[in-house]
A and B are shown apart, each in its own frame.
Chain A
Amino acid sequence: QVQLQESGPGLVKPSETLSLTCTVSGGSISSFYWNWIRQPPGKGLEWVGYIYDSGSTNYNPSLKSRVTISVDTSKNQFSLKLSSVTAADSAVYYCARDLAPVQHWGQGTLVTVSS
């Protein structure tokens, strides 16, 4: 059974870059789509973007100018970088596999943007 685990700082200062990594176990990262999805406090789910194992990406248009998703197949990991963060980027960030449906999810990690 594939498992996903998010890791990274829980606190990021405004204007800095949020960096998270998702480690995939129990299966290969190859030949699948890998997403970042977030949920701000008290709000609904928001798709951030995805990457395919080949490295092709697609991002939410509202975040596109600040988002980079990359993959490291040798480590079975993929990563999120979100630049110039503000308090509005505070959220639980989930990594997840597949597009429709999203079948496998990490447990999520809370990232707070605050000075």
Chain B
Amino acid sequence: EIVLTQSPGTLSLSPGERAILSCRASQSVSSSYLAWYQHKPGQAPRLLVYGASSRATGIPDRFSGSGSGTDFTLTISSLEPEDFAVYYCQQFDTSRITFGQGTRLEIK
């Protein structure tokens, strides 16, 4: 089973700052099957990025994904107040889905 480890666990930043979230896999992941989600309390997770670097429909261009192999990154170029949430990476491999443990992005 592929384990996804996200870092940092919590990221404290101010609106307007740049956020860099990391997702590291225990073994190589197909970029086609690596996605990022934003999750707010009481809501369903929201797909941000799929295929490691493709923005989902309606996602602002301040969100960007990159990476390959075992190291993937979600970057938020300039934080808006509504961006403070928990972010998860997710992969699909050998008929299993796994999620990272999440990065909490909080207002500093």
What residues of chain A have their CB less than 8 Å away from a CB belonging to chain B?
35, 37, 44-47, 50, 58, 60-61, 94, 99-103, 105-108
| Closest Cβ neighbor of B99 among chain A residues | A45
Main secondary structure of the interface of A (DSSP, over half): loop
In this complex, the interface size class of chain B, counting residues with CB under 8 Å from chain A, is: 20 to 34
Interface of B, secondary structure class, is strand
Decide: A58 and B35 in contact? CB cutoff 8 A: no
Nearest chain B residue, comparing its CB with the CB of A62: B1
- Residue of A35, A101, A108 touching B44 (CB-CB under 8 A): A108
Q: How far is the CA of A58 from the CA of B94 in the complex (A)?
A: 10
User: What residues of B have a CB within 8 angstroms of the CB of A60 in the complex?
Assistant: 96
Interchain CB contact (< 8 A) of A101 among B56, B95, B98, B101 = B56
Distance from A61 Cβ to chain B, minimum over Cβ atoms (Å): 7
Q: B85 within 8 Å of A by Cβ?
A: no
